[in-house]
Amino acid sequence: MRWSNVKLILAREIRDQLRDRRTLFMIVVLPLLLYPLLGMSFFQISQFMQDHPTKVFVIGDHPRLLESPSLFEGGSFAARLFGKPEKARLLELDFASDTLSPGETIEEVAERTRRQVQASEGEYDVAIYFPPGFAEQLDRFRQASEPQASSPEPTQEPAEGEAKTAVPRVLPKVPQIEIICNTANERSQITYGRLYSVLNRWTDEVGKANLSAVGLPARSARPVELATADLAEENGTGASTLFWAKMLPVMLLLWALTGAFYPAVDLCAGEKERGTLETLLSSPAQRSEVVVGKLLTIMLFSMITAILNLLSMGFTGWLVLTHVPSVGTPSWMCVVWLLVALVPVSALFSALCLALAALARSTKEGQYYLMPLMLVCMPLAILPMAPGVELNLGNSLIPVTNVVLLLRALLESDYWQALRFAAPVIGVISVCCVVSIRWAVDQFNQESVLFRESERLDVGLWLRHVFRDRGPTPGVAMAVFCGMLILMLKFIVGLTLPFPEDFTGLAKIAIITQLVVILAPALLMAVFLTRSPSRTLLVDRASWRFVPMALPAAIALAVVIHPLAFMLQMAVVKLYPIAEGAEVLSRLFSEAPNFWLLLVIIAVIPPVCEELAFRGFILSGFRHTGKKWRAIVLTAVLFGMTHSILQQSLIATLAGVLIGYIAVQSGNLLPCIGYHMVHNGLALATTRITPELLDRWPTLAWMVQGNPAEGYTYTWLVVLVGGLIAFLILAWFSRLPYQKTQEEQLHEAIKRGLKVDDEPLVSTAM
């Protein structure tokens, strides 16, 4: 790569962007104006957010005449019962008439009031119902609590050595106040919250008054005092620091993403519309140099957007927060850490946006790609804001989420926690950046991607094209559609079918999922959308050449690699503990009437159905991308996503990569099914290890270690030996002359041509 060419392309792209008024407005002007306008709008809208009075209707024998403690003062609640006395005006009271109409009872008045509160536009928001005789019951309860002058002597003296027991006092029934509210009405909810706190304070005062009546101090109701020593406040941090630590990293990621997207669309789709992309690609610069120049340009504008947004938000926040004393301003170290994290974040999002923008035929189409990208990134960015999500080894391996968690730890001054997991976070984000950049370079090396023509969709013509121009195997779009269809059907079936209560119900759901959700879409699409279903599903005659050797090799590979896979599964479970629902499923599987039935449900039906769908139809479609490893990985990711449990999905994805490699190298589906069956069967067999089984099989006792309480694991010697043998078997698979698709042959030819004298190929698109 010649950096002089990269520098020239970078200068060219920056000049083009600076000439675009829309880009300058989005990058420079909008961030400077947005947050002051939002702050102004906040103060204008705040007048509509003021507390408004609500109405309460009081029914029954209310204690209006009680002097101590009084609940009412005049026509409203006592001001002392509110946190702030001026809040007493927010509850407007209306008392029911003490005189009832002829033939009317207090219960009828209460029932009529219920209907008024239930009405959405009723006269009252909440009602309080004091039952008949409430004041007398309250007074009798207080009198019964007072100490009596004399107490009856016990009828029998306690035996020697026995302690005298006090005669329990029988207190009258505690009076009950009923609050009538309607939680479907927001005003009623607000009124209920205000009223409940007032009645709670009054109830506490009544209790203290009763204690005083029996000669006990009021503090005896709370003999223990709680003191709080907030170390965060002592160190100069607190709720304000936590607020900014959760908010700023998420905002930084959103700014970097939006700041990278619009320049990327203009540099790719915009150049296609202006007709300047062909001139750039026909220059002596290599495609990788073109990509790096555009990538640096997008990174620059992404960082400028994030920095300007940060400055504008900081200035506006400083002005606004002076009126909100409970939330302070962030420290200057926050700015330092945000700027440090901005570089890798901008690189990642710039590469993703550049690769996506290269797919777009026009600027309008490119803007449509922002929503899918946001749908993928937003949950990962917002996940750290959920309660209980903290920076640990498992979360540090999740892209985007790990950056937010690391930034949060740094902003909270938890430097030791950040230092412990900085290495995996940096490693993951670096791998993601490299993969994204390579994807962008690969997009620019495919002229079928760069020079796609705009087209109008005609459903009738498209359907005729799908059925008339069918290929022997499905295309990439069909593979994606099949994978998405399986995921959607699994989601619908998972929510529609009831949760199983026993093994029979679980077995039915498992069989329905495999046959209807996974197998049926793949078979139907293979029959109706391809000319050669047998070739698509890797079961045609031409693919049986290496089966006599590949099938035993695949079965042996599943056996020797099982200890390593088992230890990997244990590591995944340790990183991401299994939820309660997964344990319930494990318990239901353990209730199987016999082991052989469970083996059929787990180790026979799923391997056949899943291999026909994923390593058959979907992998055949992804092979048309031109890169076998890309096809293998994409198929494995879809295969892993079909497993509902996270831990199982991760293991299934890794296993899917291995099975996909076997499918490509052997060219037949039977070795894949054999590997899958043995893999599932051994995983099921490890759950049935007992001390009696170890006594019966001494060789197995030498291979495993542990106890029934903590579980059994393989010894490290078995894991290492099995891994070495698995490596040798995979090396044998790599020597098989697998059948390449036309796209793979073309990609290898282009790759060989690009290496000749290290000179780029001249583009033929003019």
556's CB contacts (< 8 A; 6+ apart) are 725, 729
CA angle 542–548–552, rounded 5-degree value: 135
228's tokens: 């709080």
The answer to whether residues 407 and 398 touch, using CB atoms and an 8 Å cutoff, is: no
Q: Which two tokens stand for residue 698?
A: 């001494």
Q: Are strands 126-130 and 54-60 parallel, antiparallel or unpaired?
A: parallel
Instruction: With beta carbons less than 8 A apart as the criterion, state whether 215 and 147 touch.
Output: yes
The full length of the chain comes to 766
Any domain includes 401: yes
Q: Which of 515, 533, 441 is nearest to 478 (CA)?
A: 533
**pLDDT tens for residues 685-721?**
888 887 888 888 888 878 888 777 777 888 889 999 9
> Is 766 a residue whose pLDDT tops 60?
no
* CB-based contacts of 370-373 (< 8 A; 24+ apart in sequence): 370/258, 370/261, 373/257, 373/261
Same domain, 176 and 139: yes
Confidence tier at 758 by pLDDT (50, 70, 90): very low
For the beta carbon of residue 631, count every other beta carbon within 10 angstroms.
26
Q: Is 90 exceeded by the pLDDT of residue 663?
A: yes
Residue bearing tokens 């990174």: 299
Query: How confident is the prediction for the chain on average, in pLDDT?
Result: 79
Q: Do residues 91 and 198 lie in contact, with contact meaning Cβ atoms separated by under 8 Å?
A: yes
Residue 351 lies in a domain: yes
DSSP run (H or E) holding 339? helix 332-359
Q: Give me the mean pLDDT over the 91-97 stretch.
A: 80
My answer on whether 65 and 211 are in the same domain is yes
Is residue 601 domain-shared with residue 636, that is, in the same domain?
yes
Displacement of CA 576 from its chain's centroid (Å)? 14
As a whole number, mean pLDDT of residues 318-343 equals 72
pLDDT for 640 beyond 60? yes
Residue 626 within a domain? yes
Q: Are residues 747 and 723 in the same domain?
A: yes
Q: What is the DSSP letter of 755?
A: T
CA distances for 31 relative to 85, 130, 314, 739, 764, angstroms: 43, 58, 11, 54, 42
pLDDT of residue 254: 84
pLDDT at 633: 94
SS3 content of the chain, % helix, strand, coil (to 5): 70, 5, 30
In sequence order, what are the residues at sequence separation of 6 or more whose Cβ sits closer than 8 angstroms to the Cβ of residue 746? 626
Confidence of residue 458 (pLDDT cuts 50, 70, 90): low
CB 329 within 8 A of CB 321: yes
Q: Does 69 sit behind a cis peptide bond, omega within 30 degrees of 0 on the bond before it?
A: yes
For residues 565 and 668, membership in a common domain is answered with yes
Q: How far apart are the first and last CA of the chain?
A: 24
Determine what percent of the chain is predicted with pLDDT higher than 90.
17
Residues whose CB is less than 8 angstroms from the CB of residue 217 and which lie 6 or more positions away in sequence, other chains included: 211
In a domain, 303, yes or no: yes
- In a shared domain, residues 125 and 263: no
Q: What span, in angstroms and rounded, lies between the C-alpha atoms of 660 and 634?
A: 10
By three-state DSSP, how is residue 464 classified?
Answer: helix
pTM: 0.74
Query: What's the DSSP call for residue 740?
Result: P
CATH number at residue 102: 3.40.1710
Q: Does any domain span residue 766?
A: no
CA dist., res. 65 & res. 95, Å (int): 13
Q: Is residue 639 over pLDDT 80? A: yes
* 212 and 242 together in one domain: no
Residue-level pLDDT at 608: 94
Residue by residue, DSSP assigns 672-710 as: HHHHHHHHHHHHHHHTT--HHHHHH-HHHHHHEEEETTT
Q: Is the pLDDT of residue 124 over 50?
A: yes
Nearest to 561 by CA among 636, 649, 657, 490: 657
Q: CA-to-CA distance for 30 and 25, rounded, in angstroms?
A: 6
Judge whether 617 and 526 are in contact, CB under 8 Å: yes
Task: Let me know: does 343 contact 307? Beta carbons within 8 Å.
Answer: no
Instruction: Single out the residue of 361, 236, 345, 264 nearest to residue 23, CA to CA.
Output: 264
- 563 near 719, Cβ under 8 Å? yes
Total domains in the chain come to 3
In this predicted model, what pLDDT tens digit does every residue of 151-170 receive, in sequence order?
455 545 555 555 555 555 56
Does any domain span residue 765? no
Same domain, 535 and 399: no
State CA 728 to chain mean position distance. 39
**pLDDT of 656:** 94
Which contacts qualify for 92-96: CB closer than 8 Å, 24 or more apart?
Answer: 92/53, 92/54, 92/55, 92/56, 93/55, 93/56, 93/57, 93/58, 94/55, 94/56, 94/57, 94/58, 94/124, 95/58, 95/62, 95/64, 96/57, 96/58, 96/59, 96/60
Please say whether the dihedral angle defined by the alpha carbons of residues 157, 163, 164 and 165, taken in this order, is positive or negative.
Answer: negative
Please give the Cα distance from 491 to 509 (Å, whole number).
Answer: 13
Alpha helices in 592-669 (DSSP H): 595-603, 605-610, 619-622, 628-641, 646-666
595 within a domain of the structure (yes/no): yes
- For 645-661, what is the mean pLDDT? 91
Q: Are residues 552 and 476 in the same domain?
A: yes
Residue 298 near residue 271, CB atoms below 8 Å: no
Q: Which of 415, 450, 485 is the last residue of a domain?
A: 450
How far apart are the C-alpha atoms of 149 and 170, rounded to whole Å? Answer: 16
Q: Which domain holds residue 595?
A: 462-758
The domain boundary residue, chosen from 430, 450, 470: 450
Per-residue confidence band for 517, with pLDDT thresholds at 50, 70 and 90: very high
Distance between CA atoms of 197 and 206, rounded to whole angstroms?
14
Judge if 510 and 572 occupy the same domain.
yes
**Are 252 and 113 contained in the same domain?**
no
Task: For residues 624 and 608, give the distance between their C-alpha atoms in angstroms, rounded to a whole number.
Answer: 24
Go through 96-109 and write b for each residue having 16 or more CB atoms within 10 A of its CB, e for each that does not.
beeeeeeeeebeeb
- Residue 683 and residue 558 in contact, taking contact as beta carbons nearer than 8 Å: no
Domain finish residue from 450, 477, 509: 450
Q: Is 323 helix (H, G, I), strand (E, B) or coil?
A: coil
Q: Decide if 153 is inside a domain.
A: no
- Report helix angle 562-575 to 716-734, nearest 10: 110
Reported as a pLDDT band with limits 50, 70 and 90, residue 668 is very high
| Greatest alpha-carbon span in the chain | 115
| Token duo for residue 37 | 């306008």
Model pLDDT for residues 553-575, shown as the tens digit of each residue: 999 999 999 999 999 988 888 88
Instruction: Give residue 761's region: left, alpha or beta (phi > 0; psi -120 to 50).
Output: beta
Mean pLDDT of 199-226: 75
Q: Are strands 711-714 and 72-73 parallel, antiparallel or unpaired?
A: unpaired
Q: pLDDT for 35-58, tens place per residue?
A: 666 666 666 555 555 667 888 888
Contact 572, 391 (CB under 8 A): no
Residue from 649, 651, 648, 639 nearest 561 by CA = 651
The two three-digit tokens of residue 35, written as one number: 């947050």
Residues 349 and 466 placed together within one structural domain of the fold: no
Lowest-confidence pick of 307-321, 354-368, 478-492, 600-614: 307-321
Tokens at 252, concatenated = 């930084």
